[in-house]
């Protein structure tokens, strides 16, 4: 059982760089939390403060309700796996995994049982007598994880454990971590800059930028209701398209105008929330995900574009279209297309489209926050 709470945690390096500002998060027992954000946003710093590898400048860290700020790393009952596996090169896989238990003077038979159990979970039993240099990157990372598992920590910390692996291995290991998580009942804090890893692994995701938390939520919540333009652009592949626009009240509800005079009526579900919040006319940023753009030839709600790139992906075509002076990305389901279009769209051809009105995102042009 391990809960982790960060209360007003701040990190100032060398009395100048503030790497993490006012970080607040309550992590439940056995929860899998992912910290995600671009390079330099403070993910590793936050994790290292939890591990005790960095001092906490301000605020409190609690594990199971006990204050940890001044507790030595070795006494926090935490295990950390890094991007660089940092295995001992002169030791076998077995010895690498057994090392921390040996230091703790755990009886030999018990060490053997734990190492073999962990090796079985990670499917590395056949490599126990090898040295790390005789292993592939993915196998080495399994050993590094195994070395952490044998300690049966209360909290498992992982800092970009997959980023040294090639794309295929990374996908495989991501699935392994999901399985691992089902077998060992521990609280996880996992750091990555990869939004796919964050979405697939996290019970909840913490999205960070410049040392500030931007949003905390389940993968579905942050995808469906991004708190601001940054989160909207960071979560989801390909990225959400953004347009400058103007919000207007209409007789029945609300509409947004984008481009010169394309007017899209907003769905009642969105209009109700805008009305409840009391919005009138307002400059906005209109967001639409590539999969929520609809091909439509004509009408007051249509934007006119020209095809730049048409990428046939099999079940979908990804289209880059120039419209209102910018690159707009569309994902079109090939099953919805006529036979002649199914193979792709010619460079330079006209392509008109609109937005699914119930899936439009609206952000304030002033502070880039989600209006609803």
Using a 10 angstrom Cβ sphere, with 0-12 exposed, 13-18 middle and 19 or more buried, the burial of residue 335 is: exposed
Find the shortest distance in angstroms from Cβ 110 to ligand ATP.
36
> Which one of Mg ion, ligand ATP, none is in contact with 40 (Cβ closer than 5 to 8 A by kind)?
ligand ATP
What would the two tokens of residue 291 be? Answer: 């999969």
How far apart, in whole angstroms, are the C-alpha atoms of residue 94 and residue 129?
Answer: 6
Does 310 interact with Mg ion (rule: CB under 5 A)? no
What would the two tokens of residue 316 be? Answer: 């979908």
> Which one of ligand ATP, Mg ion, none is in contact with 313 (Cβ closer than 5 to 8 A by kind)?
none
How far apart, in whole angstroms, are the C-alpha atoms of residue 339 and residue 180?
Answer: 45
The residue whose Cβ lies closest to Mg ion is 44
* Residues 184-213, interacting with ligand ATP (CB under 6 A): 193
Does 46 interact with Mg ion (rule: CB under 5 A)? no
Does 13 interact with ligand ATP (rule: CB under 6 A)? yes
Would you say 56 and 9 are in contact if contact means Cβ atoms under 8 Å apart? yes
Question: What sections of the chain are H helices per DSSP?
Answer: 43-51, 93-103, 108-122, 137-149, 167-183, 195-201, 219-224, 229-234, 268-276
> Which one of ligand ATP, Mg ion, none is in contact with 332 (Cβ closer than 5 to 8 A by kind)?
none
Does 228 interact with Mg ion (rule: CB under 5 A)? no
How far apart, in whole angstroms, are the C-alpha atoms of residue 222 and residue 34?
Answer: 13
Find the shortest distance in angstroms from Cβ 164 to Mg ion.
13
Does 44 interact with Mg ion (rule: CB under 5 A)? yes
Q: Is 156 helix (H, G, I), strand (E, B) or coil?
A: strand
Q: Which is nearer to ligand ATP, 96 or 192 (CB)?
A: 192
> Which one of ligand ATP, Mg ion, none is in contact with 268 (Cβ closer than 5 to 8 A by kind)?
none
Does 15 interact with ligand ATP (rule: CB under 6 A)? no
CA distances to 262, 267, 326 from 259, in Å: 6, 19, 10
Among 2, 6, 27, 42, binds ligand ATP (CB under 6 A): 42
Does 214 interact with Mg ion (rule: CB under 5 A)? no
Binding interface with ligand ATP (CB under 6 A): 13-14, 17, 19, 37, 39-45, 193
């Amino acid at each position: 059982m391990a809960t982790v709470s960060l209360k007003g945690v701040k990190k100032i390096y060398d009395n100048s760089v503030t790497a993490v500002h006012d970080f607040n998060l309550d992590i439940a027992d056995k929860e899998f939390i992912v910290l995600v954000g671009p390079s330099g946003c403070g993910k590793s710093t936050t994790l290292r403060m939890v591990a005790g590898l960095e001092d906490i400048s301000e605020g409190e860290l609690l594990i199971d309700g006990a204050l940890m700020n001044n507790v030595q790393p070795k006494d926090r009952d935490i295990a950390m796996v890094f991007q660089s596996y940092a295995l001992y090169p002169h030791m076998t896989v077995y010895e690498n995994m057994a090392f921390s238990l040996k230091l703790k003077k755990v009886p030999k038979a018990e060490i053997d049982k734990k190492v073999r159990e962990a090796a079985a979970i990670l499917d590395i039993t056949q490599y126990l007598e090898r040295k790390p240099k005789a292993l592939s990157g993915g196998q080495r990372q399994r050993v590094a994880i195994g070395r952490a598992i044998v300690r049966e920590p209360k909290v498992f910390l992982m800092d970009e454990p997959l980023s040294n692996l090639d794309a295929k291995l990374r996908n495989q290991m991501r699935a392994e971590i999901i399985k691992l998580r089902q077998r060992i009942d521990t609280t996880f804090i996992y750091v990555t800059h990869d939004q796919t890893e964050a979405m697939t692994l996290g019970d909840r995701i913490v999205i960070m930028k410049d040392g500030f938390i931007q949003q905390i939520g389940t993968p579905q919540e942050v995808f469906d209701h991004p708190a601001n333009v940054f989160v909207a652009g960071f979560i989801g592949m390909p990225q959400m398209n953004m347009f400058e626009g103007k919000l207007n009240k209409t007789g029945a509800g609300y509409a947004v105008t984008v481009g010169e005079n394309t007017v899209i009526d907003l769905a009642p579900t969105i209009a109700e929330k805008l009305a409840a919040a009391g919005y009138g006319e307002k400059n906005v940023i209109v967001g639409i995900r590539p999969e929520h753009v609809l091909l439509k030839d004509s009408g007051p709600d249509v934007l006119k574009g020209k095809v730049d790139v048409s990428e046939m992906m099999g079940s979908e075509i990804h289209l880059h279209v120039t419209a209102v002076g910018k690159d707009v990305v569309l994902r079109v389901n090939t099953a919805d297309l006529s036979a002649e279009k199914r193979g792709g769209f010619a460079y330079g051809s006209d392509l008109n489209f609109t937005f699914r009105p119930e899936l439009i995102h609206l952000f304030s042009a002033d502070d880039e926050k989600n209006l609803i």
